[in-house]
Each structure stands twice: as C-alpha cells, then as structure tokens.
Structure 1
C-alpha cells in the first residue's frame, strides 16, 4: 500500500475532486493476543485482555490505507497531516470478541491551510457498534503557516518520558503504520523533518496508558495534534482532574498534543 501511496505522488497522477462513497469492511476480525501484548508494551498499557480504546484504530488501519491509496481518493496519502482524532468507547471490548470493522471517508471541508476530511472507522460486535474513531486529516495547499508552536504555560507535569527513536519502529511494527517519516531519518528529511517523528496515535495511546486505572468504563477522548515529536525527545505529560491532558516539550514547553476525556 505504501508503494501505491508513493505512486500517487507522481504529478501526472489524475485525481477526483470529491471523496469516494466507498465503504471498506472486514467481518469477524479476531484479536491477535501476541500483537495486543506487544502493542500494550509499546504504548505503556497493562497486559490485560481488555482492548485499549486506541487498539481498534490499528485493527482498522489497513482498511483506511486501502481507502486512501485507491485511485479514486482525491489526495495522495503521503504528505497528509493527521491533525485530530476522536475515539468513542461505547463499552469495554474483550480481546476474545470478534469484531466487524468498517471505514469510510466523510466531511471534506475547507481549512485555512488547505482542505481537511475525516476517516470514520467503526467496530461492531453482534451487530451493535461498540467503538467509533474519527481521524481528521489536513491536505496542505497554498501558503502554509505551519502548526502553532507558540510556547504555552502548561501545568506542572506529572511525568516525563524519554521518546527514543525505537518508539517509531516499535509502534510501526505493532500498528502496521510504516510511514518512513516515523522510522527513517532519510524518509523524515524528504518531508522536511530533521529526524523521524513519533506517531501521533502512539502519543495519544501513551497518554491514555498514563491514565489507566482512572479512566471511566466508557468515554470519548478527543485529541488535537500540535507540533510533532522529533525523536529522540523528552516530553512532559500533564493531566487535570477535569479530564484534560497534554504533552509538551520538556524544555521549551511547546505543545505536542492536547486532549479531553468526556465520561
């Protein structure tokens, strides 16, 4: 699929203007317990048979890639910026449950730096939706002022994490997201980054893992991805009793991620 994505960067490649109506589905998908354990270790979750709220996202990721690398998709997937993600955990999901997955594109709309759209993924069990994820992507067009990197005044951090380069390769292995901007210095430089950057969904998962044991049984978690984490890095995690949380650069206090949990 990444080969197809690279071919889509060729300027002569003709693309439609609108999003496709295609819905990609996989039924009766079973959780690989070994992969789940590796994912939990990579993101800091405890080893249990309950799926982390972020895990169905990687189960549906191959469907999302199939959708976004198809010839009828309006943008090349390489170069898209993942700017936000919302996950709704309708109820706890046990790893023994087979899931029906679906993925579609929706809500193409203008943005002050280009155009953005949503990739909507759902997981159902027994015909009932138990999980929903909405990933918002930005296609930068024209002048781009970049993401906001202004220094903020975050609360005192509750934890500091060292994000080593292997975070990119470990998460790529368990998630299937082998985008070279996360795993290769050369690949990162081709897209304007001096070093590989951590996956945004790893940073979201790592924050939820830090809150494990305090999370409600069902909840919605929204995050906005700010500045990328250039690996290696040291980041500061902070959380408030009002269910907001954030990741900042430990030295500059520039924001990497802000999030809100709604029970």
Structure 2
C-alpha cells in the first residue's frame, strides 16, 4: 500500500448478508444504456469499505467448485474459493454510482491472493472490501479492489484484483510491457478447455458475464467466441500445483491474452514458483508466481 493510500479514511458500511449478484449485474447493464451510462465518473475510489460477517461455507457449493476447477475434494478451501464467496460484496462496491470505472467492459488484468493459513470448510468468514490505487494506464485507468477474509478477527486471506477501464486518458500512464516476448517454456501438461467451462464456472462463481457464456454476448464486447474466465484459469493452475502448495503463500497472476472457448492450452511451471498458460503458438494467456509466506502472527 502506498503512503497516500494509507492515509485514506473510509467509512464502514456493514451489510446484513452477501448481496445477490444478479441484481447488481442488472444495475450495471442498466447504467450502460444510452442516456444513462454517460455520467462523469469519480476521480477517486469511493472512501467506503463494505463488510459482511458470519459467511458460512456451503459444502455442496465448494464441492461443485472443486470439480469445475480441478481441485481435490477436501475440507480445505482452495485459495481462490474465498474470492468466490466474497465477490458479490466487491461487485456491490464496483456497481456503486461513485465507482470510478464502469463495470461494463472492465478488464480483469491481474489478481494477487495471500493465504495466511489453511481455511477449513467448517469456519465462517467475515469479508471486507474497498478500492484503492486508482492510476492512469496507456489504455485508460486501473484500480485495485481489495477483498479481505477474516476468522474471529484475524485476517486469514486477502485478495487484490486489478481492473482496467478502457478510455482515452491525456498523457497516458502505466504502460504495457512492449518488449519482445520471451520463448514459451516447455509445457508439462496440455489441457483441452471446452465451451462448457464458461457456463459451468458461471454457475459456481455467480459471475454470469455473457462474454464467458454466450457467443452473442462475447461478440458485443469484441470477441469472436466466448472466453474463459481469468479466475477459472488461475484456479485451474493452482489445482495443478496443489500437491506443492504450502500452508501459507501468495499467488500473483497477470491475465494476458483472452482464452477463447474451446482451446487447447499448455501449462508449465518451474521449481522456483513461476507458472504459465500458453496457447499453441507460445503466446501467454496467464503468467503467475507463487511464493511461500510465513504464518500470520497470532
């Protein structure tokens, strides 16, 4: 966190329950209609944090998620599952009128998750979300949406999702890496990703963005066919790394080229914790790093 971000004073709003994502997506789509979606966006992230307490793990939901993403069926939550549990809270924040980037057309360009300790399915979690670090990019503006999961007042999980809102910005800002692409590492596995992944992940994640589930919806956003959800790609990579995962770790990924459905992708990993998904031409869909963390102090 930057020094300026640390000085931000946020008001706290506690919700009675996790919001229903369907109504929030309808709000976002309504705001994108001509005459309704052209309002001027706020110059800073909202100075508010949303929280909800006592969120239990639905074991049938967890099992369905494990199957779709390739995890073993256990009582330990995959690192990406708290993101699913708390995402509707973050979605509530992102669909607020004062959020600086409109949800429609936003691009998820990166995600970092820190697991401080294993989380069991019999624990209940409290979630808090807020936005920070709005900054220019050569294609628009980026913002970080932070989601924190706690048990009994102790932070056990933290996710930071970086979103890009495409727009014209004077002078630009943070630029994409335009250097020559390094050769793709040799794939240790090849996966066939079928179109059913889009709809199956939508069911277990609650994220029914049509770019993942509908050819027509994908075309409306400039894709010839549906694309896999980036968080499915991250989860699928973690499932492949599952035997090597420590109890506490940070996993950071950058989402690169969209993964069209269907596709065949190559998965690779190194002993130092780097991993990737590449297409048949060696172009990256996802680049990630995994590093072990010390346990959070009790």
TM (norm. structure 1) is: 0.95
TM-superposed CA distance for 1:17, in Å, is: 2.5
Give the conservation status (yes or no) of the 8 Å contact 2:138–2:176.
no
* 1:57 pairs with one of 58, 65, 83: 83
Q: Relative to structure 2, which stretch is displaced further, 7-16 or 252-261? A: 7-16
* 1:239 pairs with one of 261, 265, 269: 269
* 2:286 pairs with one of 222, 240, 257: 257
TM-superposed CA distance for 1:151, in Å, is: 5.7
Aligned length: 262
Stretches of 4+ aligned residues off by more than 6 angstroms: 143-150
Q: Relative to structure 2, which stretch is displaced further, 72-81 or 98-107? A: 72-81
Q: Distance in 1 between matches of 2:102 and 2:168?
A: 16
1:171 aligns with 2:201: yes
Query: Residues 47 and 148 from structure 1, CA distance in 2 versus in 1: closer, same or farther, beyond 3 angstroms?
Result: farther
Give the conservation status (yes or no) of the 8 Å contact 2:140–2:166.
yes
Q: Distance in 2 between matches of 1:148 and 1:195?
A: 26
Q: Radius of gyration: which is bigger?
A: 2
* 2:211 pairs with one of 181, 203, 220: 181
* 2:232 pairs with one of 189, 202, 209: 202
Q: Relative to structure 2, which stretch is displaced further, 103-112 or 125-134? A: 103-112
TM-superposed CA distance for 1:146, in Å, is: 8.8
Give the conservation status (yes or no) of the 8 Å contact 1:100–1:124.
yes
Q: How does 1:92-241 map to 2 (within 5 A)?
A: 92-142=118-168, 152-241=182-271
**Aligned-partner SS, 1:173:** helix
Q: Distance in 1 between matches of 2:176 and 2:210?
A: 21
TM-superposed CA distance for 1:142, in Å, is: 2.4
Q: Distance in 1 between matches of 2:179 and 2:231?
A: 19
2:97 maps to which residue? 71
Query: Residues 149 and 2 from structure 1, CA distance in 2 versus in 1: closer, same or farther, beyond 3 angstroms?
Result: farther
Give the conservation status (yes or no) of the 8 Å contact 1:147–1:226.
no
Measured on the aligned residues, the alpha-carbon RMSD in Å equals 1.8
TM-superposed CA distance for 1:95, in Å, is: 0.6
Give the conservation status (yes or no) of the 8 Å contact 2:77–2:120.
yes
* 2:108 pairs with one of 47, 65, 82: 82
1:3 aligns with 2:32: no
Give the conservation status (yes or no) of the 8 Å contact 2:276–2:285.
yes
Give the conservation status (yes or no) of the 8 Å contact 1:152–1:255.
no
**Aligned-partner SS, 1:246:** strand
TM-superposed CA distance for 1:217, in Å, is: 1.1
Query: Residues 34 and 149 from structure 1, CA distance in 2 versus in 1: closer, same or farther, beyond 3 angstroms?
Result: farther
Q: Distance in 2 between matches of 1:152 and 1:227?
A: 15
Higher relative contact order (CA 8 A, sep 6+): 1
Structure 2: 5+ residue stretches without partners = 1-23, 293-298
